Chain A
Amino acid sequence: MLVIESLSRRFGEKKAVNDVSLSVAPGGFVGVIGRSGAGKSTLLRMINRLQEPSGGRILYEGRDITALRGQALRDWRADCAMIFQQFNLVGRLDVLTNVLMGRLNKTSAAQSLLRLWSPEDRAMALSALEQFDIGNLAAQRAESLSGGQQQRVAICRALVQEPKLILADEPIASLDPRNTKIVMDALRRINRHFGITVLCNLHSLDLARSYCDRLVGMAAGRVVFDDVPEKLTEHVARELYGLEAGEVMESGDHAVSAGLKPAPVAA
């Protein structure tokens, strides 16, 4: 259970995240929605401690995450894998090494610097790559891959961390509609097959509605909606997105007409 207690983050005068309280039960697929600048990214980055909170606390299974330092902090970061909008792979390294970077936290410094990964770790990395149909790319340089393939590599890197939680920060914002579906399906598969909790920032309402089982709407740093997707009425959407509301929903309609709507899952 992840519990966030009145978390805030200030950048100068601006309050990016303002007194946010949430609790996330294990196994869920939670979408964090809202317009750009609503504080979604900052919230996710604070959970991974890439960004320090200005106030408030984050608790995981009763442990205070905001107080962690050194090895304990690195262990926590391994527990809550991060997926980025720009993939954040090392372009000049091969795909397999990029995925194996997810094992760094569990590998000794000497072994990792010499790239002496254990056979078990290699098998895990390859197994992850195969599960997302990119096993054949293991030896290629990451920078030679397409955006959709790179994001799948990043998901594999997250997966070999054996995380309890996956934080995906706008994972599909730089992808085309087909790759959007592939990546979102991959996240759903992780959630269902491995039982890993997913917290996903999304811009598109339609995607959020079809993939998430709970939506958290943010506006100007505050949580203004927190419920199942069915409860997200047009009225709430307008409050969340203001004038952009038509835009995000329209783009959602386009996505649907392009065959984006995922088939009903019988998991």
Chain B
Amino acid sequence: MSGLRGDAATDFGALRKRYPSVFAPQIVQRWPILAVGLLMALLFVYGLWRLEFSFMRMWTGLAQLGRFATLMLPPIAQSWPQALTFARALAETVSIALLGTLMAALLAFPMGFLAARNATINRVVQFMSRRFLDTIRGVDTLIWALIWVNVVGLGPFAGVLAIMTADAGAFGKLFSETIEAADRKPVDGVVASGGSRLQAIRFGLLPQVLPVMLGQVLYFFESNTRSATIIGIVGAGGIGLHLSEQIRTLEWQGVSLIVLMILAAVALIDVVSGQLRFAIIGERSRNA
């Protein structure tokens, strides 16, 4: 034996003595990870038992699901005017999602900087904006929809407000985390050449975080198109209302048509936002 392997072999005993922790059995080295893993597994099993999770019931339910599926075929509307109504309502849902997401992003943009450790004004402001974001995030979109419907009345306006309030909280958190994960070095560069704090944020941080934020906004737009159908059910406009009506009147073919239309809209948004995101990231790498 020669080379490093030989060196290691002749020195094996001494190395073992000098670095006992490296050669300790795996169970000793990793007991914290193993303990946490075991605890999680126990919690998981306890949860399944406590919530009466039953494979039997899932299996019997599956047959029921199959019966519904056959009732849903073929997915057609009862009449052309109804199909047109669905299409209009879907357009309304998409615009609720777009408007709500954009307004949420605009609101969250300054909040994100205030809540980020490396861009905030001082610790108090950071703490307050964090707690504020937590609070509005603690209430789900659906609850906000119910609240806004009571405040501004039924219709899409309440839907837009619901998405805006709920997602401003989510965006605020995501934005601030993105800002905190940004590289410090460009900021140092701006500060070192005599830039103010605001200028350091504008030129050191913003170019780094903007493409990531745009990606997050695009994803939320897509996700909100789905959420907007649910808030429609509580009367905040859009296709959700028609969906719940079709379910209530057991018009399963209409239900499947609406579901397919939503699916198509979401897929389309996904394709477009993918292209947009790529364009933005491509732009960034070209400038770098």
Contact = CB atoms under 8 A, between A and B. Distances in A.
Nearest to B19: A126
Nearest to B26: A116
A194 B19 contact: no
A197 to B, nearest CB: 13
B11 interface: yes
Contacts of A116: 26
Contacts of A194: 3-4
B52 interface: no
Interface string A158-194: 0110100000000000000000000000000000001
Contact of B18 (A120, A135, A160, A195): A135
A159 B7 CA distance: 12
Interface in B122-146: none
Main secondary structure of the interface of B (DSSP, over half): helix
A124 interface: yes
A122 interface: yes
Interface in B191-212: none
B272 interface: no
B12 interface: yes
What 7 A-B pairs have minimum CB-CB distances, sorted nearest first? A127-B8, A123-B8, A124-B8, A127-B7, A194-B3, A123-B15, A126-B15
B22 interface: yes
A119 B4 contact: no
Main secondary structure of the interface of A (DSSP, over half): helix
B23 A122 contact: yes
Given A162-B5, A194-B3, A127 B23 contact: no
Contacts of A130: 15
A96 B22 contact: yes
Contacts of B19: 126, 135, 138
Interface string B14-51: 01101101110010000000000000000000000000
B268 interface: no
B84 interface: no
State which size class the interface on A falls in. 20 to 34
A23 interface: no
A124 B22 contact: no
Contacts of B21: 139
Given A119-B23, A122-B23, A123-B9, A128 B15 contact: no
A127 B9 CA distance: 9
Interface string A230-248: 0000000000000000000
26 contacts: A96-B22, A116-B26, A119-B23, A120-B5, A120-B9, A120-B12, A123-B9, A123-B11, A124-B4, A126-B18, A126-B19, A127-B4, A127-B7, A127-B8, A127-B11, A127-B15, A131-B7, A138-B19, A138-B22, A139-B21, A160-B4, A162-B3, A162-B4, A194-B3, A194-B4, A195-B3
